[in-house]
Structure 1
């Protein structure tokens, strides 16, 4: 009977702040990402670019440890199921646990974007880009968020920067004639 009491108390003791696990550094995928950016810039088709983009997502979503990966995966699954508040809870926990992991901020920004909370999304996207300056998805998400805020010149600039890294982004249509970010004076 004593043994049954000690195990739960010991487990509770291990989860107190003094013994709480801290998030390790995120894996350094900068070399791999650099190579993928070079490949996507040379891609000859949308299909080829899509395959490279999927490889980029594998690197971005490679969380620092199992706990972070679980929070990220649950947040993304809840977002996919349209449980945006549940997704926010998971992603809030992720950024508290791993404040230096860019994808936690990028995913939380996406959820806030879907909720049309553009100011919150922009804060998270800026943090994601501070941590990972070549995060193309965060760059294009930032452009869409700025568009949502009606900050068109900034949105145009942000999207142009993302397209310099990945010319195959579907958001490029926003800069084309008739697109929401068509450069001024191009309609003449």
Structure 2
């Protein structure tokens, strides 16, 4: 029985590796993302920054090919309809097909976060950030996930990193006096 299980695991691993080789490299939007982040940092108000922030999603959700795009779009639609388990299945497929595409991990983390499965969300966020270091949404999502895990100091550090990239994030209120991530001694 162990030999059969081992053979099945090997087959699955080889299938995933073969599929991953079929996935093209995701478009490199790093220069565009950096330019928009610079504009956000110079924005005069939150509304202007929000318009710019929405442009970031156009780059982050630009999947490597049509197949990956279809799976990403379906997963996001399922997530928006609160079919979180179905969304996770789609994001699992996307990650198996395109393991170097950051948004697959970020979206799966978001579905886990919505399920309040913070333990499952955190490794996906870490991987998304590793693949896309200026992914402000993944970094702020990591802060919220760490807050959900009651890892306050780490959450504060992650949110500070996100706010360096986008000082207009709505999550900034979490660090205001009286907020759950306010510095000690800055409470009301």
In structure 1, the residue matched to 2:51 is 51
Matches within 5 A, 1:59-138: 59-138=59-138
In the alignment, does 2:25 pair up with 1:25? Answer: yes
Instruction: Tell me, in whole angstroms, the C-alpha distance in 1 between the residues paired with 2:18 and 2:151.
Output: 45
Instruction: Tell me, in whole angstroms, the C-alpha distance in 2 between the residues paired with 1:19 and 1:112.
Output: 27
In structure 1, the residue matched to 2:147 is 147
5+ residue gaps, structure 1, are 1-16
Shift of 1:177: 1.2
5+ residue gaps, structure 2, are 1-14
3-state SS in 1 of match to 2:62: coil
Shift of 1:19: 8.4
Shift of 1:66: 0.4
Which aligned segments of 4 or more residues in structure 1 are displaced greater than 2 angstroms?
Answer: 17-21
How big is each residue's C-alpha offset from its partner over 1:149-182, in whole Å with a ceiling of 9 and x where there is no partner? 0000000000000000000100000000111111
3-state SS in 2 of match to 1:64: coil
Instruction: Tell me, in whole angstroms, the C-alpha distance in 1 between the residues paired with 2:57 and 2:169.
Output: 14
Shift of 1:187: 2.5
3-state SS in 2 of match to 1:56: helix
Alignment coverage as a number of residue pairs: 172
Instruction: Tell me, in whole angstroms, the C-alpha distance in 1 between the residues paired with 2:114 and 2:47.
Output: 27
TM-score by length of 2: 0.88
TM-score by length of 1: 0.88
Instruction: Tell me, in whole angstroms, the C-alpha distance in 1 between the residues paired with 2:177 and 2:46.
Output: 20
Instruction: Tell me, in whole angstroms, the C-alpha distance in 2 between the residues paired with 1:117 and 1:45.
Output: 34
Instruction: Tell me, in whole angstroms, the C-alpha distance in 2 between the residues paired with 1:55 and 1:152.
Output: 30
CA contact (8 A) 2:84 2:111 kept: yes
In structure 2, the residue matched to 1:10 is none
| Superposed CA RMSD | 1.5
Instruction: Tell me, in whole angstroms, the C-alpha distance in 1 between the residues paired with 2:47 and 2:150.
Output: 32
